[in-house]
Structure formats: C-alpha cells, structure tokens
Amino acid sequence: MEEKIIKTEYSEVMQKSFIDYAMSVIIARALPDARDGLKPVQRRTLYDMHELGIRYDKPYRKSARIVGDTMGKYHPHGDSSIYEALVVMTQDFKKGLPLVDGHGNFGNIEGDGAAAMRYTEARLSQVTQEAFLSDLDKDVVDFMPNFDETEKEPTVLPAKFPNLLVNGSEGIAVGMATSIPPHNLAEVIDAVKAYMKDETISNEGLMKYIKGPDFPTGGIVINKDELKQIYETGVGKIKIRGKVDVERGKAGKTYVVISEIPYPMIGANIAKFLMDVAALSEQKKTMDIVDITNQSSKEGIRIVIELKKDADVDNFINMLYKKTRLEDTFGVNMLAIADGRPETMSLKQIIKCNVDFQYEVNTRKYNTLLQKEQEKKEIQEGLIKACNVIDLIIEILRGSKDRAMAKACLVEGKTDGIKFKFKESKIMASQLAFTEKQANAILEMRLYKLIGLELEALINEHEETMANIYRYEDILSRRDAMAQVIMNELDDIKKSYGRPRKTVIENMAEAVYEEKKPEAMDVVFLMDRFGYAKTIDIATYERNKEAADSENKYVFTCKNTGKICVFTNMGQLHTIKVSDIPYGKFRDKGIPIDNISNYNSEKEMVIAVTSQTDLNLYRVVFATKQSMLKIVDGGEFDVSKRTVASTKLQDGDEVINVTVLNDQKEIVLQSAEGYFLKFSLDEIPEKKKGAVGVRGMKLGSKDFVENVYFTGIWAKTIEYKEKQLELSRLKAGKRDTKGTKIRI
C-alpha cells in the first residue's frame, strides 16, 4: 500500500493539539457545571453510588468499592482523583452542605489527611438523594455513553437548588481557574424564589437575601461594601478575619481565644499560624505572649494565647491580623461551564442558569409523568368498560381458539372462528373496539378484579389518574403553576436542610498595629555559604567564636535596629532589616536570605554582605570582571528601597569584589592568565554609584580579572597555584597597565 504523507505546519499542529487538550481539561475535568455545580468526577461518583444503591438509608460501603466502580465505569483518570473528590464531598468544614455521608477518618480541619480508601466507608447524604438523584428515572436529563460506550451516564444531575453557590467550587484548568465561596442554603433559596417572582431583580436586590458568603468555618467578612462589585462582576477579593474573644482568668491572667478561623486557613495553615505566632515572640516582635495552646477538638476550633498582665490586648489582636493569617483573603473568580463553555458569571447569572435548568427539568419530568398517567388512564378505562360487558368477554374467551383470535375480536371486532352461545353476543362482539394496550390488559386481568370492592377501587384509581392528568397539564401549560411547584420543592429543602448563618458580614476598619520599637543593641550577624542568615547576641558569639568564624562566610557586628546590605555580581544591592532576620540560639539554622529579600539565588550570586552602619562610616571600592574600578561614598547606599542598582555595568560584565575601605593602602588585581598588578588606592577616583568607573588593568582579548586583594599596614600572603605568595613583595605599578605575570 502506497504511503500517504500529509505535510502540515508544526505550529498549527501544536496549536490545535494544545487547544484540544486545554478544552478537555476545562470542560471534562477542572471546572464545575453552572447547572448542578459539580465537576465531572463529583457527578460520576455520586451517580455511581446511586447506581450501586448506596442510599442514605442503606448501610455504608467501602470507599474502595465506590472508587473502583466509578473508575471502571465512568472516570478512567486514576483512583486518587476520585477518592479526593469523595473525601472533599464528606468534609463539613469545606462544604456548606456535604453531599456524601462519610464513616471513618476523612481528615480534619487542621490538615490531617483522610485514611486510605480501604479503611473508610461512605454513602449518599439524604439531601443528595432527594435533591440531586431522585428524578433521574423520569427522563429529566440527557444521558451519554461512557468512555468505552458500555454504560450510560448523565450529562448533568437534576439539582433542585444552585449547588454552585451553596457548596462553592475550586479548580485549576489550563489558563483559567475557578474559586467560588460557599453560601448559606436558606439564603440562596430565598434569592432563587425572589428571582422567580421578579426576573428583572438586580444583583443588589438579590443581595437583600444573600448577605454574602457563608463559610463553614465561620469568621468575619470585613469588606461588606465590596461584595456588591464582586457579585456584579464575578471577580474580587473577600477579606476574612477569625473570631477572637478575650477571656479573663485567675490572678488577672488574660487569654486571647480564637474560636473561628478564616476559611483559607483550614488545613496545614492552622499549624503555620501557630508557628507564626510563636515566631513573633522568638523574633521579639512582641514580648506579651506567655503561652500558646491549641485546644481544638471535634467540637470546634479553640486556640488560646495567654498574655502578660500589662499587655495591650487590642494592639496584640491587631498584630495578629497584620502579621499572621488570622486575617486572610479569599480570591473570588466565579467561573463555571455555562452552555458548554467557560464563563465568569455574576450572582444573578448563576441563579438564572439554575432556574432555567429547573424549568427544563420539571418540564421533562411532568411530560414523563403525564405520559405515564395517560397510559394508565387508557388501561383503566379499558378495564372498567370490560367489567361492564364481562359476560360477553368471557364468552369470547371461551369461544376463541387462541389468544390472537380473542385479541383480534377485542380490538377489531373480528368474530370469525369464535363460537358464541347467542347470536346477540356475536353482534355485540363485532362492535368492540378496545385499543391494543386495553386488550392486553383485559387478557391479563385476573378474576379477583371482578369483586365489587376491586371494581370500586379501580374506579377510584381512575378518578385519581384523571386528577393527576389535569394537574400535570395545568403545570405544563402555565409557567406560574410550574414556578409554584419549583418553589414548593425549594421550601421543603429549606425546611429540612436550612441552617443559621455562620459567617458575619460587616464593614470593619483596617487593623492598626503600633509596632513597639525594640531596644537598640548590638548583635552578631552570621551567614553561611548556603545563604542561611541569623543573628545572635555578642555573649553567645564570644563563647562560640571559633566555630562561628569557621562555619560562616560572613560574620560581623551590627545594630538590631539597622539594615544588612547584600551586594551581588549583577550590580544589585538588596537591603534587609536586621529585625527580619531570626534572632536566637547559635545552633539555629537561620533563614535563607531569599525569603526575606528580593535576592534571587538562581540569577545572582552574593559578592559581599555588610551592615549599613559600616557603609555610612566608610567608602566602598567596586571591582568588576572587565577590570572596571571605582570608589563610592558608603552614604549613597543608605536607601529606603529594598533593591537598588549599586553600580552600572557594561555588557557582559559583572561585579567580582565589593570591599569596605578602612586601613587598606593598595589594591592587587589578579587576572585569569596569571597577571598581577599592584597599585595605590589613591589612583582610583571616587564616583557616584550610577557610574561605570575606570579601567584598573589592561587585559588580553580572552583574559579577565579573577581575584582582587588588598594590602595595608599588615603583611598579606595569599595562596596561588598551591604556593604562598606575599603581596608586599610584588612590584608596585600604575593603574591601567598590564602588570606582571607570576610564574610559580
């Protein structure tokens, strides 16, 4: 067979493949559907539990069974994603209305993960069964083939309320993400009813019912006025504070008690909060803390901070808001799949989408119910009519040779071949005109149906069927009747599952914290070759002087109220407050300077570290790889910005030495090819930090300055090519000359 090669542009193939992949992740994995508020993995898990019969009133089943069945039938993307979705749907501290009833260890608010799926059990919550799955047998939603076309799965579940708002959603797709906060079920239902009564209602009007997010962890939303804009655009930031109470103990003790936390703090961030509070004390940001205890339990959060008697409690609480995650931000991006595409939706759009879906679902539901009632009506009328002429029908049955002959007589009045006792019976039989379904029902009817009471029950059932048909036709023909049905269902859900609001919505002023200035004192700065920095007191340094000097690259004394200056090879100066550097024990690890400054260890290299106090007292000499030199007054580096350019560099050049001048007299430049040039520091001009400088040494085309040394009143000996070289013996030269090549 001849090969057929299709030539195409590589960029076009990549573009199309990426778009296909992105849309697959967006639609089929990461984002929820605006109609039922569920991601595909959640929807498939709930539907599989429904199919397995794991209802709220049935025994729990192993999570591993649920996960395995879901993965095998509907979601072939790995068991971990299915189990994680199942776990989240059970956690009442993440979901306003848990959709799954979990039995066993499904994790906790402090960040402990769920047990393995083989140890936990689950079943559907009652609200899930009643509000998401109860009408699936009434043809209310479309079904589609699963991944291997061996099963059918619903494209969406017929949720009876806006689950997207009630439980919220979080997900990261390709190039977009969703982050929707949970809301109070009762408030959402009230807002839905208000929209159904007046579809012209504004977002502001809906906010009379939905006050704002209602987080399962409680807390206080402090930017109430900004919520209007957030619900209008679907995007914004919600500021949340934990709930703090002050308790008085015996002997005048004061306790700051945190009983509710911001929603973003759930999980490992509680432990981080405790560490941050402890760090405030260790770093002497506050001296008011006596003890911290985490007394949280299944009953709720309780973090207790004991303060000194004379502590300023209000100032301390404001410090917690400013310095820890006790005040946090929830980023809102109400992105969901609507009409098959991702869309950032306002509050009203989400409610409209769900209400339109409710009308569609209920229209299909009552059409299905109406059709079933009409079928029942047809059969019931046939049976009632048959009871009125039962003697004739018995005569037809006794005189027929087979079922087909009897049926033909009942439906079409054919009497050929049937033996009748009376001629009148044959005439009456020829006039019969039952329908196919009526004839089948008559042929299958049991004799006990002829009892008077049974016949009366059949007539009553027929009257009930007629009443149902009238009611269903009325609902389908009048939108206001349909609306009333939907609102009645919403009222039932609200009555059964509505809960009081947990989150308080207020406008609160920004926390103002007056930081007490620490008492000025001398400390010793230590930084090792890996970039970990810390400060210790002078007495501790004196006791460990030998180890401190040998284990650290930079060691010097500075003020705890001052700044540290970090010069890099890219000509940048990064300043760090000494107060931001951990102060503690000699054997403490310290903190990477990347974490407390703008220094980037992947792009830059530290050339020198010194205190700003020393810079203010002395001058600084710069030397670069291309042999550019200059002296700068140290006062120029007393800047307020965290990062500034410390010098100007030519293309391809970089700083190799920054030295604070004290009693140095001469400078020695050593090139990579072995040339040494020694000359007086007086030959280097003093310039501004924005200047390039002057050339210090003539270099060959491939040569560059490798090392810089200084001589002073002391003898300076260096190691060069594994030999000792005394710099004082080098012949002094002039700046901008080639120097002397040293051969050892």
Q: Is residue 560 part of a domain?
A: yes
The CATH number for 489's domain is: 1.10.268.10
Does residue 193 fall inside a structural domain?
no
pLDDT digits (tens, 9 = 90+) for 706-736: 999 988 766 578 888 878 888 888 888 999 9
Distance between CA 99 and CA 131 in Å, rounded?
Answer: 10
Per-residue pLDDT at 112:
86
Phi-psi sector, 82: left (phi>0), alpha (psi -120 to 50), beta: alpha
Q: Read off φ and ψ for residue 233, nearest 5 degrees.
A: -100, -20
pLDDT computed for residue 91 by the predictor: 93
Q: Could you give the C-alpha distances from 618 to 108, 629, 708, in angstroms and in order?
A: 57, 17, 19
Task: Among 134, 159, 184, identify where a domain stops.
Answer: 159
Considering the domain architecture, whether residues 387 and 453 belong to the same structural domain is answered as: yes
Residues 91 and 132 in one domain: yes
- DSSP class of residue 221? E
Those residues whose C-beta lies under 8 Å from the C-beta of residue 282, and which sit 6 or more positions away, are 582, 583, 584
Examine the domain organization and report whether 443 and 531 are in the same domain.
Answer: no
Residue type, 322: K
CA–CA distance, 356 with 246 (Å, rounded to integer):
49
- The reported pLDDT for the residue numbered 26 is 65
Residue at 344 is within a domain: no
What is residue 14's predicted lDDT score, i.e. its pLDDT? 78
Find, among 668, 649, 689, the residue nearest to 732 by Cα: 668
Total domain count, the chain = 4
Secondary structure in 3-state letters for 484-520: HHHHHHHHHHHHHHCCCCCCEECECCCCCCCCCCCCC
In terms of Cα–Cα distance, which of 207, 197, 154, 537 is closest to 361?
154
- For residues 103 and 162, is the Cβ–Cβ distance under 8 A? no
Output the CA angle 394-398-400, nearest 5 degrees. 115
Answer with the one of 325, 342, 376 that is the final residue of a domain.
325
Q: Is residue 4 part of a domain?
A: no
Question: Are 605 and 692 contained in the same domain?
Answer: yes
> What is residue 29's DSSP assignment?
I
Same domain, 248 and 373: no
Residue 231 forms part of a structural domain: no
pLDDT at residue number 448: 66
**703 vs 557: CA distance, rounded Å:** 37
C-alpha to C-alpha distance for 77 and 710, rounded to whole angstroms: 65
The reported pLDDT for the residue numbered 452 is: 59
Give Rg (Cα) of the chain: 41
Burial class (CB in 10 A: 0-12, 13-18, 19+), 714: exposed
Query: 654 in a domain, yes or no?
Result: yes
Q: What is the DSSP letter of 393?
A: H
Burial class (CB in 10 A: 0-12, 13-18, 19+), 663: exposed
Residues 6+ positions from 367 with CB-CB distance below 8 Å: 476
Whether residues 448 and 359 fall in one domain? yes
Residue 301 Cα distances to 93, 97, 180, 293, angstroms: 11, 19, 24, 11
Candidates 658, 660, 694; CA nearest to 679 is 694
Query: Domain range holding 563?
Result: 522-741
Contact 732, 666 (CB under 8 A): yes
Tell me the residue length of the chain: 744
Tokens of 452: 């008077």
CATH of the domain at 569: 2.120.10.90
User: Closest Cα partner for 179 from 353, 30, 42, 41?
Assistant: 30
579 shares a domain with 658: yes
Looking at the structure, do residues 482 and 576 belong to the same domain, yes or no? no
Is the torsion defined by CA of 277, 280, 281, 287 positive or negative? negative
Task: Indicate if 695 and 564 belong to the same structural domain.
Answer: yes
Residue linked to tokens 């009942």 = 410
Q: How far is CA 486 from CA 145, 324, 743, in A?
A: 30, 46, 96
What pLDDT, on the 0 to 100 scale, is given for residue 616?
A: 81
Can you tell me the distance from the alpha carbon of 132 to that of 114, in angstroms, rounded to the nearest whole number?
25
Distance CA 679, CA 86 (A): 75
Q: Contact, 82 vs 88, CB < 8 A?
A: no
Are residues 692 and 557 part of one domain? yes
Residue 51 CB coordination number (10 Å): 16
**pLDDT recorded at residue 128:** 96
User: Which residues carry out catalysis?
Assistant: 119
Look at residue 251 and give its three-state secondary structure: helix
Handedness of CA 392, 393, 399, 400 (dihedral sign): positive
Report the pLDDT value the prediction gives residue 663, as an integer from 0 to 100.
Answer: 83
Same-domain check for residues 387 and 451: yes
Angle (CA) 321-515-643 rounded to 5° is 90
3-state secondary structure of 191: helix
Out of 103, 129, 159, a domain closes at 159
Kindly state whether residues 482 and 363 are assigned to the same domain.
yes
3-state secondary structure of 473: helix
Tell me how crowded residue 386 is: count the other CB atoms within 10 A of its CB.
22
Give the separation between CA 500 and CA 711, rounded to whole angstroms. 78
Per-residue 3-state assignment (H helix, E strand, C coil) for 313-382: HHHHHHHHHHHCCCEEEEEEECEEEECCEEEECCHHHHHHHHHHHHHHHHHHHHHHHHHHHHHHHHHHHH
Report the amino acid identity of residue 392. Answer: L
In a domain, 456, yes or no: yes
CATH number of the domain to which 116 belongs: 3.90.199.10
Identify the pLDDT of residue 25: 63
Please check whether residue 737 is in contact with residue 677, taking contact to mean a CB–CB distance below 8 angstroms. yes
Give the N- to C-terminal CA distance of the chain in Å, as an integer.
Answer: 75
**What does each C-alpha distance from 608 to 61, 195, 230, 513 come to in angstroms?**
64, 66, 48, 35
Check which CATH number belongs to the domain holding 298 and give it.
Answer: 3.30.1360.40
Positions of the chain with pLDDT under 70? 1-2, 20-28, 447-453, 515-518, 713-715, 744
Distance of CA 428 to the CA centre of its chain: 76
> Is 510 inside a domain boundary?
no
Look at residue 27 in the predicted model and tell me its pLDDT. Answer: 66
Q: In what order do the strands lie in the sheet with 254-260?
A: 243-248, 254-260, 303-307, 289-294
3 state DSSP class of 54: coil
Sign of CA dihedral 137, 142, 145, 146: negative
